[in-house]
């Protein structure tokens, strides 16, 4: 169930007219009626035609009138509770039970004995109810609910378990504020697909991915078509900012501004400054990982993702070295992955055939997964973040193959992130990461096939293909049969053959690609190996002498045997041709 505390008002009659009215165009009200009230004898405008919402309002307002100046100015408390789409149909009695439980938990009517606030629970649809209450007790003392939204959420989690309803992941207070109903209706009238709040949140996050420091962040916002206003202190330092969409005005014609913190908790100015650091000097690549020092930021990004996945793989947070990876370090890298997903939709504009809508949907879904109560150590992820900044400013020169490589690696990473969150009972973030993986898979299904199709015609001769199959059996053992019978196997052999022509020993290259990280969680290991081999091959300059030697070898190669050669013998055969 989804409880939501709405903005307080000063007139309960207006709320009642809405609850008993026809409703909005997007959600018409059906059979509005009271399912529970403070005394269970309250007259119901939905069942008695002689009772009006005004009469019901006067009954609820009795303590407010008697309290006089002691009553709160905004004394109308409004809560809606909506069932999950998967939940069964709830009866009026069940909704009445739910209403009383939540009112007791929030302190509106703690004992249910008519000494609390006056209230009614109105049902005008199958899947939700509204509770209207006036915040004055029967003894005329005012009620000031504290953390009522959190308390309502907690009680609903208990009710879900007791009634066998869908268990909603508890929140941790880090979710972005959703668009209000007036904002949604305004966007619908303007025939906009998103509200200004959501659109600004997306553009601010994209600007962060492009920026290296505060000035470039503000400049990137303006380049993205956002109006920006900053607040400076006496020293001239920027203390805050607010953003608006051009032409987005209220009824008075005034532009509507949003402070960063009202868009999302991690978009406040202090939180943004934590991430906008000077790019670190590129570190030298470790042995066996030349792609981590690639000049092309697209290749380097994919390499960083491959390196990130292993220490996310195990849900206890232990990396491949066996040492404990602190949660803040992991959280910093999780945030950096969000920068990558925010940067991909605009950065892939030059690549024809890219499903940018799926990439944008992935970035939007991941927004919830990018933050939690775990404080992120952003500086620990400087290498990935600085690489993403370079990627955002450089269109890929290696085409959709490099993009497919990044998307395939991103899928593995966000799946590992989902499991990492699930192990820490952060259900909302875990589900958001899982949804992100689905959107990335949808994007991958449009990106990968054309790239693979362009490789397939360059597949080598049958004899050379058989030799590459021997290499696969040597490196992968029994799993090789899955690789060599996959529809993407011709593309993989073409990638190996092209790399061999540039001076790469195919067996060593295949061994290196497999060793980068495990393949068990990959949706298609053959395609993942194809992208890795292409990426690794781009890191070594073209060698004409070695290429000529490999061309002669491919022409006169012996037919492959059914028994795979030993690793040392196959390596010696490749290096012999390499040294000619």
pLDDT in tens, 300-320: 888 888 888 777 765 444 444
The number of beta carbons lying within 10 Å of the beta carbon of residue 158 is: 11
* Strand blocks (E) in 142-207: none
Residue 133: beta bridge partners? 77, 119
**What pLDDT is recorded for position 367?**
93
What are the C-alpha distances in Å from 261 to residues 179, 218, 256, 266?
14, 16, 15, 7
What confidence category does residue 563 fall into, taking pLDDT thresholds of 50, 70 and 90? very low
CB neighbours of 507 closer than 8 A, spacing ≥ 6?
Answer: 471, 474, 475, 567, 570, 571, 574
Residue 463 has pLDDT above 60, yes or no: yes
Give the percent of the chain with pLDDT over 90.
40
Query: Ranked by mean pLDDT, which of 239-243, 282-286, 288-292, 390-394 comes out on top?
Result: 239-243
Residues 256 and 258: their CA atoms lie apart, in Å, by 7
Q: Give CATH 3.30.930 domain extents, the chain.
A: 2-163
How does residue 62 score in pLDDT terms, banded at 50, 70 and 90? very high
Where is 425: in which H helix or E strand? none
pLDDT at 25 over 60: no
Query: How far apart are alpha carbons 302 and 438 in whole angstroms?
Result: 19
Distances (CA, A) of 177 to 6, 224, 469: 12, 22, 54
pLDDT given for residue 398 in this prediction: 58
Q: In 477-505, which ranges are continuous DSSP H helix?
A: 480-484, 489-501
Residues sharing a CB contact under 8 Å with residue 54, sequence separation 6 or more, in sequence order: 13, 16
Give the chain's end-to-end CA distance (angstroms, integer).
71
* Among the ranges given (228-237, 450-459, 568-577), the one the predictor scored with the smallest mean pLDDT: 568-577
Banded model confidence at residue 347, pLDDT cuts 50, 70, 90: confident
Lowest-pLDDT range of 32-41, 200-209, 253-262, 551-560: 551-560
SS3 334: helix
Tell whether the model's pLDDT for residue 33 goes beyond 60.
yes
Q: How confident is the model at residue 547 (pLDDT cuts 50, 70, 90)?
A: very low
pLDDT tens track for 227-251: 999 999 888 888 999 999 999 998 8
The first and second tokens of residue 559, run together, are 């037919």
Which of 375-389, 469-483, 560-574 has the lowest average pLDDT? 560-574
Mean pLDDT of 499-515: 86
- The three-point CA angle 472-480-549 to 5° equals 15
**Of 52, 489, 1, whose CA–CA distance to 510 is shortest?**
489
Sign of the torsion angle spanned by Cα atoms 390, 396, 402, 405: positive
**How many CA atoms does the CB half-sphere of 433 hold within 13 Å?**
27
Tokens of 292: 């981590």
* Helix, strand, coil percent values for the chain (each to nearest 5): 55, 10, 35
Distance of CA 188 to the CA centre of its chain: 24
Tokens of 152: 């309502």
SS3 of 165, please?
Answer: coil
Helix (H, G, I), strand (E, B) or coil at 405: helix
Predicted TM-score (pTM) of the model is 0.75
pLDDT digits (tens, 9 = 90+) for 120-139: 999 998 889 999 999 999 98
How far is it, in rounded angstroms, from Cα 209 to Cα 224?
12
Least confident of 106-110, 147-151, 282-286, 323-327: 282-286
Backbone phi, psi, residue 20, to 5°: -95, 0
| Mean pLDDT over each residue of the chain, to the nearest integer | 83
Report residue 48: phi and psi, to 5°: -120, 110
Cα–Cα separations (whole angstroms), residue 465 to 154, 315, 354, 491:
61, 39, 31, 11
Nearest CA among 136, 217, 200, 189 for reference residue 24: 189
> What are the Cα distances from residue 466, in Å, to 284, 427, 462, 493, 563?
37, 47, 6, 10, 11
Give the three-state DSSP class for 74. Answer: coil
Q: Which of 173, 347, 339 is nearest to 265 (CA)?
A: 173
Measured CA to CA, the distance from residue 197 to residue 178 in angstroms comes to 8
Cα pseudo-dihedral 431, 435, 441, 443, rounded to 10 = -150
pLDDT at 166: 87
User: Nearest-CA neighbor of 468 among 456, 480, 458, 479?
Assistant: 480
Q: What is the pLDDT of residues 470-494, one digit of tens each?
A: 999 998 888 889 999 999 999 999 9
Instruction: Confirm if 122 and 80 have CB atoms less than 8 A apart.
Output: no
**437-462: average pLDDT:** 90
pLDDT range class, residue 377, cuts 50, 70, 90: confident
10 Å CB burial of residue 111 (0-12, 13-18, 19+) is exposed
Both structure tokens of 240? 């805050």
- What's the fold here for domain 2-163? BirA Bifunctional Protein; domain 2 (3.30.930)
CB atoms within 10 A of CB 45: 21
Of residues 377 and 560, more confidently modeled: 377
What does the radius of gyration of the chain's CA atoms come to, in whole angstroms?
Answer: 30
User: Which of 173-182, 192-201, 446-455 is the least confident region?
Assistant: 173-182
Pick the most confident of 183-187, 333-337, 560-564.
Answer: 333-337
Q: Which two tokens stand for residue 69?
A: 């100046």
Surface-to-core class of residue 477, CB atoms within 10 Å of its CB (0-12 exposed, 13-18 middle, 19+ buried): exposed
- Tokens representing residue 218 in the block: 């503000």
| The pLDDT of residue 57 is above 60 | yes
Q: How confident is the model at residue 341 (pLDDT cuts 50, 70, 90)?
A: very high
Average pLDDT of span 99-108: 92
Q: What is the mean pLDDT of residues 323-341?
A: 87
Is the model's pLDDT at 399 over the cut of 80?
A: no
What is the reported pLDDT for 550? 45
């Amino acid at each position: 169930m989804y409880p939501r505390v709405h903005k307080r008002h000063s007139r309960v009659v207006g709320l009642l007219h809405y609850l008993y009215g026809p409703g909005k165009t997007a959600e018409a009200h059906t059979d509005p009626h009271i399912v529970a009230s403070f005394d269970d004898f309250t007259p119901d405008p939905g069942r008695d035609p002689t009772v009006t919402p005004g009469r019901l309002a006067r009954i609820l307002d009795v303590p407010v009138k008697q309290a006089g100046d002691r009553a709160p100015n905004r004394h109308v408390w409004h809560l809606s509770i909506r069932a999950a789409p998967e939940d069964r149909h709830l009866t009026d009695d069940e909704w009445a039970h739910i209403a009383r439980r939540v009112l007791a938990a929030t302190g509106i009517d703690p004992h249910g004995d008519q000494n609390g606030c006056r209230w009614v629970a109105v049902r005008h649809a199958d899947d939700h109810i509204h509770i209207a209450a006036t915040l004055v007790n029967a003894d005329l003392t005012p009620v000031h609910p504290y953390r009522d939204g959190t308390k309502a959420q907690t009680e609903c989690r208990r009710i879900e378990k007791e009634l066998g309803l869908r268990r909603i992941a508890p929140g941790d207070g880090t979710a972005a504020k959703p668009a209000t109903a007036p904002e949604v209706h305004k966007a619908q009238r303007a025939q906009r697909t998103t509200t200004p709040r959501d659109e600004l949140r997306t553009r601010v996050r994209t600007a962060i991915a492009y920026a290296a420091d505060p000035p470039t962040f503000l400049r990137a916002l303006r380049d993205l078509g956002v109006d920006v206003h900053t607040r400076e202190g006496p020293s001239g330092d920027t203390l805050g900012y607010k953003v608006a969409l051009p032409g987005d005005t209220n009824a008075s014609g005034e532009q509507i501004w949003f402070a960063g913190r009202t868009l999302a908790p991690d978009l406040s100015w202090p939180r943004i400054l934590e991430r906008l650091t000077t790019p670190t000097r590129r570190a030298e690549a470790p042995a066996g990982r030349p792609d981590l020092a690639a000049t092309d930021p697209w290749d380097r990004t994919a390499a960083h993702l491959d390196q990130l996945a292993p220490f996310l793989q195990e849900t206890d947070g232990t990396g491949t070295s066996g040492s404990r990876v602190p949660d803040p370090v992991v959280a910093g890298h999780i945030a950096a992955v969000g920068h990558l997903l925010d940067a991909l939709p605009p950065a892939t504009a030059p690549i024809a055939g890219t499903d940018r809508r799926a990439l944008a949907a992935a970035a939007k879904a991941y927004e919830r997964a990018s933050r939690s109560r775990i404080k992120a150590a952003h500086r620990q992820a400087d290498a990935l973040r600085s690489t993403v900044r370079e990627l955002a400013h450089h269109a890929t020169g290696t085409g959709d193959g490099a993009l497919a490589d990044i998307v395939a690696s991103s899928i593995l990473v966000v799946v590992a992130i989902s499991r990492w969150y699930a192990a820490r009972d952060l259900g909302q973030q875990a589900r958001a990461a899982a949804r992100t993986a689905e959107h990335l898979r949808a994007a991958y299904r449009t990106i990968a096939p054309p790239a693979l199709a362009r490789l397939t015609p360059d597949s080598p001769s049958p004899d050379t293909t058989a030799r590459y199959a021997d290499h696969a059996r040597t490196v992968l053992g029994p799993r090789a049969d899955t690789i060599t019978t996959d529809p993407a196997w011709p593309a993989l052999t073409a990638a190996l053959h092209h790399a061999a022509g540039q001076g790469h020993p195919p067996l060593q290259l295949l061994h290196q690609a497999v060793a980068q990280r495990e393949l068990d969680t990959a949706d298609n290991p053959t395609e993942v190996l194809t992208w890795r081999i292409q990426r690794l091959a781009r890191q070594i300059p073209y060698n004409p002498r070695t290429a000529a030697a490999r061309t002669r070898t491919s022409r006169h190669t012996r037919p492959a045997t059914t028994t795979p050669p030993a690793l040392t013998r196959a390596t010696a055969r490749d290096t012999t041709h390499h040294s000619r």
